[in-house]
Structure 1
Amino acid sequence: MPTRETRTAYHHGALREELLAACLALIETEGIGAVSLRRVAREAGVSPGAPYHHFPDRAALLNAITAQGYGLLITGMRSAHSAAGTPVEALGAMIEVYVRFAREHTGYARLMYRPELSESTKGPVAEAYAQEGIQLVTDTVVAAQRAGQAPAGDPAPLVAMVWALGAGMAVLAIDGPLDTMSAERGSSITELTAQVSTIFQGMLAAG
Structure 2
Amino acid sequence: MHQGRTTYHHGALRDELLRACLRLIETEGIGAVSLRRVAREAGVSPGAPYHHFADRATLLAELSTQGYKQLAERLAAARNRAGEPAPALAALVQAYVEFARSEPGYFHLMFRPELSTSTKSPDVHQAGYVAFNVLADAVGDCVLAGTIAQRDASAVALAVWGLGHGLASLWVDGHLDEGEHKLSESPEAAMARIAGLVETALGRAAPPASS
Shorter-normalised TM range: 0.7 to 0.9
Instruction: Write 1 or 2 for the structure with the bigger share of helix.
Output: 1
Q: Does 1:60 align with 2:50?
A: no
- CA distance in structure 2 between the partners assigned to 1:152 and 1:18 by the alignment: 46
Find the counterpart in structure 1 of residue 176 from structure 2: 178
TM-score of the superposed pair, with normalisation by structure 2: 0.85
Aligned to 2:103: 105
Q: What is the TM-score of this pair, normalised by structure 1?
A: 0.87
Do the aligned partners of 2:34 and 2:56 also contact (CA within 8 Å) in 1? Answer: yes
Contact 1:151/1:204 (<8 A) preserved: no
SS at match of 2:151: coil
> Which residue identity does 1:71 align to in structure 2?
K
Contact 1:63-1:121 at 8 Å conserved across structures:
no
Identity of aligned residues (%): 46
Deviates more, 1:102-111 or 1:131-140: 131-140
Q: How does 1:56-205 map to 2 (within 5 A)?
A: 56-113=54-111, 115-116=112-113, 119-121=114-116, 123-180=121-178, 184-187=183-186, 189-205=187-203
Q: Distance in 2 between matches of 1:82 and 1:67?
A: 23
SS of the residue corresponding to residue 149 of structure 1 reads coil
Q: How far apart in 2 are the matches of 1:184 and 1:169?
A: 12
| Count of aligned pairs | 196
Give the Å deviation of 1:140.
1.5
Structure 2, unpaired ranges of 5+:
1-5, 206-211
Distance 1:121 1:147, change over 3 A: closer
Counterpart in 2 of 1:14? 12
* 1:95-143 deviation digits (Å, cap 9, x = unpaired): 1011000100010000123x04xx4446333222211122221221121
Q: Residues 157 and 192 from structure 1, CA distance in 2 versus in 1: closer, same or farther, beyond 3 angstroms?
A: same
Residue 27 of structure 1 corresponds to 25
| Partners of 1:73 and 1:179 in 2: CA distance | 24
Q: Verify the 8 A CA contact 1:150 1:205 in the aligned structure 2.
A: no
2:71·2:96 contact (CA, 8 Å) conserved in 1? yes
Q: For the structure 1 residues 56 and 21, does the alpha-carbon distance in structure 2 shift closer, same or farther, using more than 3 Å as the test?
A: same
Q: Residue type matched to 2:46 in 1? A: P
Q: Which residue of 2 aligns with 1:4?
A: none
Runs of 4+ in 1 over 4 A off after TM superposition: none
C-alpha distance in 2 between matches for 1:120 and 1:131:
13
Q: Which runs of 5+ in 1 are unaligned?
A: 1-6
Q: Give per-residue Cα distances to partners, 1:140-180, cap 9 Å, x unaligned.
A: 11211221223442310000011101111111112111233
Residue of structure 2 in register with 1:51 after alignment: 49
Q: In the aligned structure 2, how far is the partner of 1:12 from the partner of 1:202?
A: 51
